[in-house]
Structure 1
Protein backbone atom coordinates (compact mmCIF):
# COMPACT_ATOMS: atom_id res chain seq x y z
CA UNK A 1 0.00 0.00 0.00
CA UNK A 2 1.20 3.48 -0.77
CA UNK A 3 1.08 6.71 1.18
CA UNK A 4 -2.34 8.36 1.47
CA UNK A 5 -2.37 11.64 -0.50
CA UNK A 6 -2.77 14.68 1.75
CA UNK A 7 -6.10 15.92 0.34
CA UNK A 8 -8.02 12.62 0.75
CA UNK A 9 -6.42 12.17 4.17
CA UNK A 10 -7.38 15.68 5.32
CA UNK A 11 -10.93 15.36 3.96
CA UNK A 12 -11.31 11.90 5.46
CA UNK A 13 -10.17 13.12 8.86
CA UNK A 14 -12.46 16.15 8.60
CA UNK A 15 -15.27 13.71 7.82
CA UNK A 16 -14.89 11.97 11.19
CA UNK A 17 -15.24 15.21 13.18
CA UNK A 18 -18.98 14.67 13.87
CA UNK A 19 -18.20 11.22 15.30
CA UNK A 20 -15.42 12.58 17.50
CA UNK A 21 -17.58 15.54 18.54
CA UNK A 22 -20.48 13.25 19.43
CA UNK A 23 -18.22 11.05 21.56
CA UNK A 24 -16.68 14.09 23.26
CA UNK A 25 -20.10 15.49 24.15
CA UNK A 26 -21.08 12.14 25.64
CA UNK A 27 -17.92 11.91 27.73
CA UNK A 28 -17.99 15.53 28.90
CA UNK A 29 -21.33 16.70 30.29
CA UNK A 30 -20.28 20.36 30.25
CA UNK A 31 -19.29 20.19 26.60
CA UNK A 32 -22.53 18.36 25.82
CA UNK A 33 -24.59 21.05 27.56
CA UNK A 34 -22.69 23.84 25.81
CA UNK A 35 -23.00 22.11 22.43
CA UNK A 36 -26.74 21.55 22.88
CA UNK A 37 -27.23 25.20 23.74
CA UNK A 38 -24.95 26.51 20.98
CA UNK A 39 -25.96 24.16 18.15
CA UNK A 40 -29.12 22.42 19.32
CA UNK A 41 -29.61 19.00 20.88
CA UNK A 42 -29.55 17.23 17.52
CA UNK A 43 -25.89 18.15 17.10
CA UNK A 44 -24.49 16.52 20.25
CA UNK A 45 -24.08 13.06 21.72
CA UNK A 46 -25.50 10.05 19.99
CA UNK A 47 -27.88 12.13 17.87
CA UNK A 48 -25.17 13.67 15.72
CA UNK A 49 -23.31 10.37 15.45
CA UNK A 50 -26.34 8.31 14.44
CA UNK A 51 -27.69 10.74 11.87
CA UNK A 52 -24.28 11.48 10.39
CA UNK A 53 -23.34 7.78 10.43
CA UNK A 54 -26.37 7.00 8.28
CA UNK A 55 -25.41 9.76 5.88
CA UNK A 56 -21.84 8.49 5.61
CA UNK A 57 -22.85 4.87 5.00
CA UNK A 58 -25.09 6.14 2.20
CA UNK A 59 -22.27 8.29 0.82
CA UNK A 60 -19.94 5.31 0.86
CA UNK A 61 -22.47 3.32 -1.17
CA UNK A 62 -22.03 5.97 -3.85
CA UNK A 63 -18.25 5.67 -3.65
CA UNK A 64 -18.44 1.90 -4.10
CA UNK A 65 -20.88 2.38 -7.00
CA UNK A 66 -18.27 4.59 -8.63
CA UNK A 67 -15.67 1.84 -8.27
CA UNK A 68 -18.14 -0.63 -9.81
CA UNK A 69 -18.27 1.50 -12.98
CA UNK A 70 -14.74 0.29 -13.75
CA UNK A 71 -16.00 -3.28 -14.28
CA UNK A 72 -17.97 -5.21 -16.88
CA UNK A 73 -20.27 -8.19 -16.99
CA UNK A 74 -20.75 -10.37 -13.93
CA UNK A 75 -18.23 -8.40 -11.87
CA UNK A 76 -20.13 -5.19 -12.66
CA UNK A 77 -23.42 -6.75 -11.56
CA UNK A 78 -21.78 -7.94 -8.33
CA UNK A 79 -20.11 -4.56 -7.74
CA UNK A 80 -23.29 -2.57 -8.27
CA UNK A 81 -25.30 -4.97 -6.13
CA UNK A 82 -22.99 -4.91 -3.12
CA UNK A 83 -22.41 -1.17 -3.44
CA UNK A 84 -25.97 -0.46 -2.31
CA UNK A 85 -25.70 -2.58 0.84
CA UNK A 86 -24.29 0.18 3.14
CA UNK A 87 -27.12 2.59 2.25
CA UNK A 88 -29.77 -0.06 2.73
CA UNK A 89 -28.15 -1.10 6.03
CA UNK A 90 -28.28 2.50 7.26
CA UNK A 91 -31.91 2.86 6.20
CA UNK A 92 -33.19 -0.34 7.78
CA UNK A 93 -30.91 -0.73 10.81
CA UNK A 94 -30.60 2.68 12.48
CA UNK A 95 -34.05 2.94 14.00
CA UNK A 96 -34.73 2.30 17.64
CA UNK A 97 -32.76 3.70 20.51
CA UNK A 98 -29.21 4.99 20.45
CA UNK A 99 -27.69 1.76 21.73
CA UNK A 100 -29.15 -0.55 19.08
CA UNK A 101 -28.73 2.04 16.32
CA UNK A 102 -25.13 2.64 17.40
CA UNK A 103 -24.36 -1.07 17.43
CA UNK A 104 -25.90 -1.46 13.99
CA UNK A 105 -23.81 1.43 12.70
CA UNK A 106 -20.69 -0.22 14.11
CA UNK A 107 -21.63 -3.43 12.27
CA UNK A 108 -22.36 -1.35 9.16
CA UNK A 109 -18.97 0.33 9.19
CA UNK A 110 -17.15 -2.96 9.80
CA UNK A 111 -19.15 -4.50 6.95
CA UNK A 112 -18.31 -1.51 4.76
CA UNK A 113 -14.62 -2.12 5.47
CA UNK A 114 -15.04 -5.67 4.14
CA UNK A 115 -16.69 -4.31 1.00
CA UNK A 116 -13.86 -1.78 0.65
CA UNK A 117 -11.42 -4.68 0.82
CA UNK A 118 -13.28 -6.59 -1.89
CA UNK A 119 -13.15 -3.59 -4.25
CA UNK A 120 -9.48 -3.12 -3.33
CA UNK A 121 -8.70 -6.78 -4.11
CA UNK A 122 -10.47 -6.41 -7.46
CA UNK A 123 -8.05 -3.56 -8.26
CA UNK A 124 -10.80 -0.93 -8.46
CA UNK A 125 -9.56 1.46 -5.73
CA UNK A 126 -6.48 3.63 -5.41
CA UNK A 127 -3.49 1.76 -3.95
CA UNK A 128 -3.74 3.76 -0.69
CA UNK A 129 -7.48 3.11 -0.22
CA UNK A 130 -7.29 0.48 2.50
CA UNK A 131 -4.84 2.50 4.60
CA UNK A 132 -7.32 5.39 4.60
CA UNK A 133 -10.36 3.18 5.20
CA UNK A 134 -8.70 1.30 8.09
CA UNK A 135 -7.78 4.57 9.80
CA UNK A 136 -11.19 6.18 9.37
CA UNK A 137 -13.10 3.04 10.31
CA UNK A 138 -11.05 2.64 13.50
CA UNK A 139 -11.89 6.22 14.53
CA UNK A 140 -15.58 5.89 13.66
CA UNK A 141 -16.03 2.54 15.43
CA UNK A 142 -14.20 3.81 18.54
CA UNK A 143 -16.41 6.90 18.70
CA UNK A 144 -19.59 4.90 18.17
CA UNK A 145 -18.48 2.51 20.91
CA UNK A 146 -18.63 5.47 23.32
CA UNK A 147 -22.30 5.80 22.43
CA UNK A 148 -23.19 2.17 22.95
CA UNK A 149 -21.19 1.49 26.14
Structure 2
Protein backbone atom coordinates (compact mmCIF):
# COMPACT_ATOMS: atom_id res chain seq x y z
CA UNK A 1 0.00 0.00 0.00
CA UNK A 2 1.07 3.54 -0.76
CA UNK A 3 -0.24 6.33 1.50
CA UNK A 4 -0.27 10.10 1.24
CA UNK A 5 -1.17 12.76 3.81
CA UNK A 6 -2.68 16.10 2.87
CA UNK A 7 -3.04 19.30 4.90
CA UNK A 8 -5.48 22.08 4.11
CA UNK A 9 -6.16 25.46 5.70
CA UNK A 10 -8.68 28.19 5.00
CA UNK A 11 -10.10 31.22 6.78
CA UNK A 12 -12.66 33.90 6.05
CA UNK A 13 -14.04 36.81 8.00
CA UNK A 14 -17.77 37.21 8.57
CA UNK A 15 -19.99 39.13 6.17
CA UNK A 16 -23.49 40.44 6.88
CA UNK A 17 -26.35 39.33 4.63
CA UNK A 18 -24.80 36.07 3.48
CA UNK A 19 -25.74 32.52 4.57
CA UNK A 20 -23.19 30.51 6.56
CA UNK A 21 -22.12 27.12 5.23
CA UNK A 22 -19.76 24.72 7.00
CA UNK A 23 -19.05 21.33 5.48
CA UNK A 24 -21.88 21.85 3.02
CA UNK A 25 -24.40 22.41 5.83
CA UNK A 26 -26.28 25.67 6.20
CA UNK A 27 -25.73 26.94 9.74
CA UNK A 28 -28.32 29.05 11.56
CA UNK A 29 -26.25 32.19 12.13
CA UNK A 30 -26.83 35.85 11.21
CA UNK A 31 -23.59 36.17 9.19
CA UNK A 32 -21.94 34.21 6.43
CA UNK A 33 -18.31 34.11 5.35
CA UNK A 34 -16.70 36.46 2.86
CA UNK A 35 -15.49 34.65 -0.17
CA UNK A 36 -15.80 34.54 -3.92
CA UNK A 37 -17.75 31.28 -3.63
CA UNK A 38 -20.01 30.42 -0.67
CA UNK A 39 -16.96 30.79 1.63
CA UNK A 40 -17.28 27.30 3.18
CA UNK A 41 -13.93 27.13 5.03
CA UNK A 42 -14.31 23.44 5.86
CA UNK A 43 -14.89 22.36 2.28
CA UNK A 44 -12.09 24.67 1.09
CA UNK A 45 -9.61 23.21 3.61
CA UNK A 46 -10.70 19.65 2.77
CA UNK A 47 -10.39 20.31 -0.96
CA UNK A 48 -6.87 21.68 -0.49
CA UNK A 49 -5.89 18.74 1.73
CA UNK A 50 -6.92 16.25 -0.96
CA UNK A 51 -5.31 18.26 -3.76
CA UNK A 52 -2.09 18.59 -1.76
CA UNK A 53 -1.94 14.88 -1.00
CA UNK A 54 -2.12 14.01 -4.71
CA UNK A 55 0.28 16.74 -5.85
CA UNK A 56 -2.29 18.83 -7.71
CA UNK A 57 -2.59 22.65 -7.85
CA UNK A 58 -4.37 24.22 -4.88
CA UNK A 59 -7.95 25.46 -4.77
CA UNK A 60 -6.91 29.05 -5.57
CA UNK A 61 -5.15 27.95 -8.74
CA UNK A 62 -7.97 25.71 -9.93
CA UNK A 63 -10.86 27.99 -8.92
CA UNK A 64 -9.47 31.51 -8.99
CA UNK A 65 -11.41 34.25 -7.22
CA UNK A 66 -10.71 36.34 -10.34
CA UNK A 67 -12.88 33.98 -12.41
CA UNK A 68 -16.56 34.95 -12.42
CA UNK A 69 -17.61 31.32 -13.08
CA UNK A 70 -16.94 30.56 -9.41
CA UNK A 71 -18.72 33.60 -7.92
CA UNK A 72 -21.27 32.45 -5.35
CA UNK A 73 -21.03 28.75 -6.25
CA UNK A 74 -21.31 25.96 -3.71
CA UNK A 75 -17.92 24.77 -2.50
CA UNK A 76 -19.20 21.23 -2.97
CA UNK A 77 -18.25 21.70 -6.63
CA UNK A 78 -14.58 22.22 -5.64
CA UNK A 79 -14.56 19.15 -3.40
CA UNK A 80 -16.15 17.01 -6.12
CA UNK A 81 -13.39 18.05 -8.55
CA UNK A 82 -10.68 17.20 -5.99
CA UNK A 83 -12.25 13.78 -5.38
CA UNK A 84 -12.49 13.17 -9.14
CA UNK A 85 -8.78 13.94 -9.51
CA UNK A 86 -7.94 11.80 -6.47
CA UNK A 87 -9.83 8.80 -7.88
CA UNK A 88 -8.31 9.41 -11.31
CA UNK A 89 -4.90 8.82 -9.75
CA UNK A 90 -6.13 5.64 -8.09
CA UNK A 91 -6.30 6.95 -4.51
CA UNK A 92 -9.04 6.42 -1.98
CA UNK A 93 -9.77 8.55 1.06
CA UNK A 94 -9.13 6.73 4.34
CA UNK A 95 -10.05 9.42 6.87
CA UNK A 96 -10.34 13.14 7.43
CA UNK A 97 -9.71 15.18 10.54
CA UNK A 98 -10.63 18.83 10.87
CA UNK A 99 -10.61 21.69 13.36
CA UNK A 100 -12.93 24.68 12.99
CA UNK A 101 -11.62 27.70 14.87
CA UNK A 102 -14.29 30.24 15.80
CA UNK A 103 -15.73 31.92 18.86
CA UNK A 104 -19.15 31.66 17.26
CA UNK A 105 -21.22 29.90 16.17
CA UNK A 106 -20.73 26.91 18.44
CA UNK A 107 -19.76 23.90 16.34
CA UNK A 108 -20.95 21.11 18.69
CA UNK A 109 -24.66 21.35 17.79
CA UNK A 110 -23.81 20.84 14.09
CA UNK A 111 -21.03 18.23 14.27
CA UNK A 112 -23.12 15.16 13.51
CA UNK A 113 -25.01 16.85 10.67
CA UNK A 114 -21.74 18.05 9.14
CA UNK A 115 -20.21 14.58 9.47
CA UNK A 116 -23.22 13.03 7.73
CA UNK A 117 -23.00 15.57 4.89
CA UNK A 118 -19.25 14.99 4.51
CA UNK A 119 -19.88 11.24 4.47
CA UNK A 120 -22.28 11.71 1.54
CA UNK A 121 -19.87 14.01 -0.31
CA UNK A 122 -16.75 11.87 0.19
CA UNK A 123 -18.09 8.33 0.48
CA UNK A 124 -16.34 7.93 3.84
CA UNK A 125 -18.11 6.22 6.73
CA UNK A 126 -19.08 8.75 9.42
CA UNK A 127 -16.75 7.09 11.95
CA UNK A 128 -13.75 8.08 9.79
CA UNK A 129 -14.65 11.76 9.89
CA UNK A 130 -13.64 14.04 12.76
CA UNK A 131 -14.95 17.56 13.29
CA UNK A 132 -13.70 19.59 16.23
CA UNK A 133 -14.64 23.10 17.25
CA UNK A 134 -12.14 25.32 19.07
CA UNK A 135 -12.46 28.92 20.22
CA UNK A 136 -10.06 31.58 18.91
CA UNK A 137 -8.84 32.58 22.39
CA UNK A 138 -6.92 35.60 21.06
CA UNK A 139 -5.90 34.02 17.74
CA UNK A 140 -6.70 36.38 14.84
CA UNK A 141 -8.09 39.83 15.44
CA UNK A 142 -10.86 39.70 12.82
CA UNK A 143 -14.08 37.82 13.62
CA UNK A 144 -14.59 34.87 11.33
CA UNK A 145 -13.81 31.18 11.03
CA UNK A 146 -10.62 29.29 10.22
CA UNK A 147 -10.30 25.59 9.43
CA UNK A 148 -7.43 23.12 9.41
CA UNK A 149 -8.00 19.75 7.77
CA UNK A 150 -5.87 16.65 7.25
CA UNK A 151 -6.59 13.62 5.11
CA UNK A 152 -5.03 10.21 4.67
CA UNK A 153 -5.18 8.62 1.23
CA UNK A 154 -4.04 5.21 0.00
CA UNK A 155 -3.44 3.46 -3.28
CA UNK A 156 -2.16 -0.06 -3.82
CA UNK A 157 1.60 0.10 -4.42
CA UNK A 158 2.55 -0.65 -8.00
CA UNK A 159 6.19 -1.45 -8.53
TM tier, shorter chain? 0.3 to 0.5
Larger strand share, 1 or 2: 2
Q: TM-score, normalised by structure 2?
A: 0.33
Q: TM-score, normalised by structure 1?
A: 0.35
Larger helix share, 1 or 2: 1
Instruction: Specify which structure has the bigger relative contact order, considering alpha-carbon pairs within 8 angstroms and separated by 6 or more residues.
Output: 2
Task: Flag the structure with larger Rg.
Answer: 1
